[in-house]
Amino acid sequence: MKEFLAAMLITTVVLGIIFGPLAVIWALNTLFPVLAIPYTFKTWLAILVLSAILTPLKVTTKSNN
């Protein structure tokens, strides 16, 4: 059962990485039709890079107390 859940989690993450940027392009085109962003590999990659930059890194420190 654990293997199945791990496989499902990995599949979900991979599909999210693939289709997430396309969903962002679709949303931007829907909200702002004047943008007319094409669905190309170049724009997909640009959204992927942009989301990686805009996603804040969460760093936690553990106290020795």
> What percentage of the chain has pLDDT greater than the value 70?
94
Average pLDDT, the chain: 89
For the cut 90, the answer to whether the pLDDT of residue 52 exceeds it is no
Distance CA 32, CA 20 (A): 18
Distances (CA, A) of 52 to 2, 17, 27, 36: 29, 11, 18, 22
